[in-house]
């Protein structure tokens, strides 16, 4: 999963005022006992914490398991065998095509005056010094027939265009030097940008260290998907500091060896086991985690697969012993290729396995009650902060489980589900409800580094995630009425859409129409909530099997309407775009609105003769969050990667937000090479012929689909 904790700023956090309610066993991190029913307590008592931990230890020992690799397949074979040995009804093995790469080791030596070597790796799916790409050999070296690269290293800071220009000097080229770059996603957006800048400035390779401010682990060697036309190498901040110290007194020459092969036709695997429901078999609760890892990936994500296996063991054995009945179908899924695996040349190349699963199982998505996605379940909490991402419509349900387990002092939630974990595939793409667990803020310095090992994991934290997953699964599988409430989602959409009125004032009528449709849907949702209470009360008061059956029949009709409405409301409400480092979920037209406002402000500033204010306004355009730091040439290459929809999962439901190219105007105004008149003309074209039509189409879509989503609710309410 891609993470950048600073991106959480600006999200709508859920405030909780309740105190833990209690009786039962003590909770981790709390002396309060649990508030569980006897049946729930029986289920939690069946959890085998030691066995789950042993699964984590074993999965961690399998090493790096990249998308479509033999290691990933071997790990999935283990998962399959474990599931197949359980008293489940069926186990699935499903293959799908991905792009795979194999690293054959990377070495970096300081050859000037024999200062030794330091640990390194080729960065993710970037090319190394040499290798094979779809059977064709490539060579970037200058020694040993192109298999060894020997060159001086040059420090280019954060890899911005100005820093590269300063490092190049008068001739504008690094003349084959190796560019040393401090990765900082808050500046660069993603390492692709300085990698392209390095290639354009004549570097023979780019060498990254770090992550972003506050998350630079001194010994951490990062991995991620990074597109680069030249070899991209990853080293630790400590190794970079050593190089920088040596470079103060003399030139430093490095020798780099490394081979990476690419196979665009590799196969990855999803594995799933099923416990068929007794009375509502066509409704599903999915529990998932992803098997692929960077490095050993003990937290991200071996811990999650270990928990999925424990959930499957616990629920299946409880059912086999007669201690548990699942009315709905439970699916336990180990997903492949979450970290990467999408086709080359696309930006959003992660979440491949879960997306394939959603597409392959329309039956599950048509009856999905909830997806409990686990992406990290064992890292110790820091400062009491552990985060869940949750769909808006499940807020009350999740907070109830947290409270009843006594974890209000440990867990927090934010909404909506983001695009950096498999939860997005089930929610944003499948129109379902998802809960993603868990993220500890203290993990960022270890994230995607070789330091994410079993030694830093917490048995207590893993136990907490197991208990929370088991309780939410238990409650959602046998709930009479689905524990979903669209009112918070409507409030979120209303708040965002109302904020867009002053951003695009020409569209007030269309915004008003969409808000009317949203208000009608929210009123129906409130009526659905009231009907659910009535049905629950009727079932509790039933004196005969016939009366209970009547209540169940009403509940089934209501549940069907809720699912049908959600499958329209959720994916058509959501858009995705924003910061390149982690594609953001947002209200469908929101990026177009904020960009419209920024461009309009720039136009107004130019009309008033304030070119400097116009430059500042243009920095607020979403593609300029990173575009302000790079050259025009690098910007055009990276922007093309971001907007290319080949294999881009955001193409579904037309959710992908459009990006406007105003960087040329920005640079021209900044250096004085573009006249105010030309800038005004270009920005007016962008506003009138891109942003406004895009926004209009999105708002009209919202109004249409919100009315469509109201249909199933109106029908069931009669």
**Is residue 486 domain-shared with residue 451, that is, in the same domain?**
no
**Is residue 412 domain-shared with residue 370, that is, in the same domain?**
yes
Distance CA 510, CA 78 (A): 54
Centre a 10 Å sphere on the Cβ of residue 7 and count the other Cβ atoms it contains: 18
Q: Averaged over 569-578, what is the pLDDT?
A: 92
Q: Residue 645's pLDDT band (boundaries 50, 70, 90)?
A: low
Distance CA 426, CA 430 (A): 5
**Overall pTM > 0.95:** no
**Is residue 519 domain-shared with residue 460, that is, in the same domain?**
no
- Among 227, 261, 295, where does a domain finish? 261
Q: 3-state SS string over 552-577?
A: HHHHHHHHHHHHHHHHHHHHHHEEEE
Computed on alpha carbons and rounded to an integer, the radius of gyration of the chain in Å comes to 27
Give a yes or no: residue 613 inside a domain: yes
- Among 232, 261, 290, where does a domain finish? 261
Give a yes or no: residue 356 inside a domain: yes
Structure tokens at 404: 């009843």
Q: What is the mean pLDDT of the chain?
A: 91
Instruction: Give strand pairing partners of 269.
Output: 95
Whether the CB-CB separation of 518 and 494 falls below 8 Å is answered with yes
pLDDT of res. 349: 85
pLDDT tens, position by position, 676-710: 999 999 999 999 999 999 999 999 999 999 999 99
Q: How far is CA 390 from CA 228, 422, 426, 491, in A?
A: 34, 12, 12, 15
Q: Averaged over 224-241, what is the pLDDT?
A: 95
Give a yes or no: residue 270 inside a domain: no
**Is residue 333 domain-shared with residue 229, that is, in the same domain?**
no
Longest dimension (CA), the chain: 90
Give a yes or no: residue 236 inside a domain: yes
Q: Name the nearest CA neighbour of 549 among 479, 476, 480.
A: 480
Helices (H) and strands (E) in the chain, counts: 23, 19
Q: Name the nearest CA neighbour of 551 among 489, 481, 621.
A: 481
At residue 210's C-alpha, the angle toward residues 205 and 215, to 5°, is 160
Structure tokens at 232: 């991209």
pLDDT at 232 > cutoff 70? yes
pLDDT of res. 348: 78
b/e code 359-380 from CB counts within 10 Å (16+ = b): eebeebbbbbbbbbbbbbbbbe
pLDDT of res. 647: 55
At residue 190's C-alpha, the angle toward residues 337 and 348, to 5°, is 35
Distance CA 643, CA 237 (A): 32
Instruction: Give strand pairing partners of 139.
Output: 130
**Is residue 604 domain-shared with residue 660, that is, in the same domain?**
yes
Count of domains for the chain: 3
pLDDT of res. 488: 95
pLDDT of res. 76: 98
Domain of 107?
A: 102-261
SS3 assignment, position 293: strand
Could you tell me the CATH number of the domain that includes residue 160? 3.50.30.30
The helix, strand and coil proportions of the chain, stated in percent and rounded to the nearest 5, come to 50, 20, 30
**Is residue 435 domain-shared with residue 509, that is, in the same domain?**
no
**Is residue 457 domain-shared with residue 495, that is, in the same domain?**
no
**Is residue 112 domain-shared with residue 85, that is, in the same domain?**
no
**Is residue 186 domain-shared with residue 223, that is, in the same domain?**
yes
Could you tell me the CATH number of the domain that includes residue 334? 3.40.630.10
Give a yes or no: residue 74 inside a domain: yes
Task: Identify the H or E element spanning 42.
Answer: helix 38-45
pLDDT at 7 > cutoff 90? no
pLDDT at 384 > cutoff 90? no
pLDDT of res. 30: 43
Whether the CB-CB separation of 254 and 153 falls below 8 Å is answered with yes
**Is residue 577 domain-shared with residue 536, that is, in the same domain?**
yes
Give the sign of the dihedral formed by CA 404, CA 409, CA 410, CA 414. positive
**Is residue 577 domain-shared with residue 681, that is, in the same domain?**
yes
655 versus 17: the higher-pLDDT residue is 655
**Is residue 486 domain-shared with residue 472, that is, in the same domain?**
no
Q: Residue 11's pLDDT band (boundaries 50, 70, 90)?
A: very low
Instruction: Give strand pairing partners of 267.
Output: 97
Residue 301: cis peptide before it, omega within 30 degrees of 0: yes
Give the sign of the dihedral formed by CA 502, CA 508, CA 510, CA 516. positive
pLDDT at 28 > cutoff 50? no
Distance CA 119, CA 322 (A): 54
pLDDT tens, position by position, 96-149: 999 998 889 999 999 987 778 999 999 988 999 999 999 999 999 999 999 999
Q: Averaged over 164-193, what is the pLDDT?
A: 92
pLDDT tens, position by position, 512-555: 999 999 999 999 999 999 999 999 999 999 999 999 999 999 99
Helix axes 545-573, 487-499, angle to 10 degrees: 20
pLDDT tens, position by position, 32-51: 457 899 999 999 999 999 99
Q: How far is CA 1 from CA 50, 134, 412, 489, in A?
A: 27, 26, 19, 25
Q: 3-state SS string over 140-179?
A: CCCEHHHCEEEEEEEECCCCCHHHHHHHHHHHCCCCCCEE
Whether the CB-CB separation of 492 and 11 falls below 8 Å is answered with no
Q: How far is CA 566 from CA 33, 413, 700, in A?
A: 35, 21, 19
């Amino acid at each position: 999963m891609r993470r950048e904790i600073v991106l959480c700023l600006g999200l709508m956090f859920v405030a909780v005022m309740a105190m833990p309610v209690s009786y039962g066993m003590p909770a981790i991190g709390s002396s309060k006992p649990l508030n569980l029913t006897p049946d729930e307590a029986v289920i939690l008592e069946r959890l085998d914490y030691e066995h789950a931990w042993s699964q984590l230890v074993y999965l961690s020992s399998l090493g790096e398991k990249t998308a479509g690799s033999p290691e990933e397949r071997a790990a999935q074979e283990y998962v399959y065998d474990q599931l197949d040995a359980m008293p489940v009804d069926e186990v699935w093995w499903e293959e799908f095509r991905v792009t795979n790469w194999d690293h054959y080791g990377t070495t970096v030596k300081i050859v000037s005056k024999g200062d030794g070597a330091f640990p390194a790796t080729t960065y993710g799916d970037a090319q190394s010094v040499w290798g094979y790409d779809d059977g064709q050999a490539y060579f970037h070296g200058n020694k040993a027939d192109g298999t060894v690269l020997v060159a001086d290293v040059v420090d280019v800071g954060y890899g911005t265009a100005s820093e590269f220009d300063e490092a190049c000097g008068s001739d504008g080229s690094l003349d084959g030097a190796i560019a040393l770059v401090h990765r900082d996603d808050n500046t660069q957006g993603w390492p692709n940008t300085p990698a392209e800048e390095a290639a354009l400035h004549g570097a023979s390779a780019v060498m990254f260290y770090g992550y972003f401010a506050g998350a630079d682990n001194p010994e951490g060697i990062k991995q991620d998907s990074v597109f680069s036309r030249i070899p991209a190498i990853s080293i630790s901040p400590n190794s970079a500091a050593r190089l920088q110290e040596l470079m103060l007194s003399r030139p430093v020459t490095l020798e780099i060896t490394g081979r990476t092969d690419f196979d665009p036709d590799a196969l990855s695997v999803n594995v799933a086991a099923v416990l068929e429901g007794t009375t509502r078999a066509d409704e599903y609760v999915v529990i998932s985690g992803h098997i692929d890892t960077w490095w050993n990936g003990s937290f991200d994500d071996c811990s999650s697969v270990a928990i999925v296996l424990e959930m499957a063991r616990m629920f299946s054995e409880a059912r086999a012993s007669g201690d548990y009945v699942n009315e709905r179908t439970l699916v336990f899924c180990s997903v492949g290729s979450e970290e990467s695996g999408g086709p080359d040349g696309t930006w959003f190349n992660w979440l491949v396995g879960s997306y394939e699963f959603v597409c392959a199982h329309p039956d599950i998505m048509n009856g999905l009650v909830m997806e409990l996605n686990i992406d990290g379940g064992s890292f110790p909490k820091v400062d009491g902060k552990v985060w869940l991402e949750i769909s808006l419509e499940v807020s009350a349900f999740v907070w109830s489980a947290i409270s009843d387990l006594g974890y209000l002092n440990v867990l927090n939630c934010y909404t909506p589900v983001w695009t950096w974990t498999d939860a997005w595939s089930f929610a944003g793409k499948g129109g379902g409800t998802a809960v993603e667990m868990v993220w500890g803020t203290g993990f960022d310095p270890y994230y995607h580094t070789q330091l994410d090992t079993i030694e830093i994991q917490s048995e207590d934290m893993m136990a907490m995630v197991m208990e929370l997953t088991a309780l939410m699964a238990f409650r959602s599988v046998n709930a009479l009425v689905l524990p979903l409430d669209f009112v918070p989602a409507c409030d979120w959409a209303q708040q965002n859409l109302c904020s867009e009125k002053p951003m695009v004032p020409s569209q007030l009528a269309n915004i008003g129409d969409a808000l009317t449709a949203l208000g009608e849907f929210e009123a129906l949702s409130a009526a659905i909530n009231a009907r659910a209470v009535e049905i629950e009360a009727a079932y509790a008061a039933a004196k005969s099997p016939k009366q209970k059956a009547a209540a169940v029949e009403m509940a089934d009709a209501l549940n069907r309407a809720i699912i049908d409405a959600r499958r329209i409301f959720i994916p058509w409400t959501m858009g995705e775009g924003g910061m390149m480092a982690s594609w953001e979920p947002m209200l469908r037209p929101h990026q177009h609105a904020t960009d419209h406002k920024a461009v309009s402000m720039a136009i107004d500033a130019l009309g008033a003769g304030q070119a400097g204010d116009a430059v500042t306004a243009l920095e607020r355009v979403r593609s300029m969050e990173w575009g302000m730091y790079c050259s025009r040439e690098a910007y055009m290459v990276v922007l093309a990667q971001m907007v290319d929809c080949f294999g881009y999962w955001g193409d579904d439901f037309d959710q992908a937000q459009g990006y406007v190219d105003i960087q040329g105007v920005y640079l021209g105004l900044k250096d004085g090479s573009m006249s105010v008149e030309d800038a005004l003309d270009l920005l007016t074209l962008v506003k009138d012929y891109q942003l406004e039509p895009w926004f209009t189409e999105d708002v009209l879509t919202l109004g249409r689909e919100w009315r469509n989503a109201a249909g199933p609710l109106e029908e069931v309410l009669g």
